[in-house]
């Protein structure tokens, strides 16, 4: 008995329905997307003849500690790193408002004792919102 083999047909992938679905999705997203056009207004600000410097109390206090142990309170360098100097600077900057958030930023090579001193002085003054600034590993790359 001789068996005859039928020729095998190659399978086909019909992409027509897939293309139709993609085009329908594209049309749907194009129609449903709202494009916001922001308008710009040209304004002329008034000029001042005399400027009066008003010292205002900041909404946040920043203490930065350098690698050498130098303290900067809101960008101003302190004359020395004694706790009394730090306390006086914090009292002057805060204006007696100890509910302001305080952020301590230290150099990676700064001594741990310098950071603890800043935290101790702030805690003794009554600051309760003390934050320590850090960098994520992804930010350093």
Confidence of residue 9 (pLDDT cuts 50, 70, 90): confident
**Mean pLDDT within 95-108:** 87
pLDDT digits (tens, 9 = 90+) for 19-70: 999 999 999 988 888 776 666 666 665 666 666 665 655 688 999 998 888 9
* DSSP per-residue string spanning 52-110: -------SSEEEEE-TTS-EEETTEEPS---HHHHHHHHHHHHTT-TTS-EEEEE-TTS
Residue 16 lies in a domain: no
Using a pLDDT cut of 70, give the percent of the chain over it.
77
Domain CATH for 94? 3.30.420.270
Residue 103 lies in a domain: yes
pLDDT of the residue at 117: 93
pLDDT of the residue at 67: 86
Confidence of residue 122 (pLDDT cuts 50, 70, 90): very high
**Mean pLDDT within 108-127:** 90
In terms of residues, how long is the chain? Answer: 141
Q: How high is the mean pLDDT of the chain?
A: 82
Our count of domains for the chain comes to 1
pLDDT of the residue at 99: 86
CB 99 within 8 A of CB 128: yes
Residue 35 lies in a domain: no
Which tokens go with 28?
């749907």
Residue 119 lies in a domain: yes
Domain containing 106 equals: 61-140
State how beta strands 130-132 and 61-65 pair.
unpaired
Residue 34 lies in a domain: no
């Amino acid at each position: 008995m001789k068996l005859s083999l039928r020729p095998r047909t190659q399978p086909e992938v019909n992409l027509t329905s897939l293309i139709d679905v993609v085009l329908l999705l594209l049309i749907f997203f194009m129609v449903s997307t709202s494009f916001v056009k922001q308008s710009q207004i040209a304004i002329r600000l008034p000029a001042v003849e005399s400027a009066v410097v008003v010292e205002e109390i900041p909404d946040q206090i920043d203490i930065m500690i350098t690698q050498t142990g130098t303290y900067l309170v809101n960008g101003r360098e302190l004359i020395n790193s004694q706790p009394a100097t730090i306390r006086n600077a914090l009292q002057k900057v805060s204006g007696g408002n100890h509910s302001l958030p305080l952020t301590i930023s230290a150099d990676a090579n700064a001594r741990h004792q310098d950071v603890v001193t800043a935290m101790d002085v702030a805690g003794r003054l009554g600051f309760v919102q003390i934050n320590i600034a850090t960098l994520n590993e992804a930010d350093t790359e």
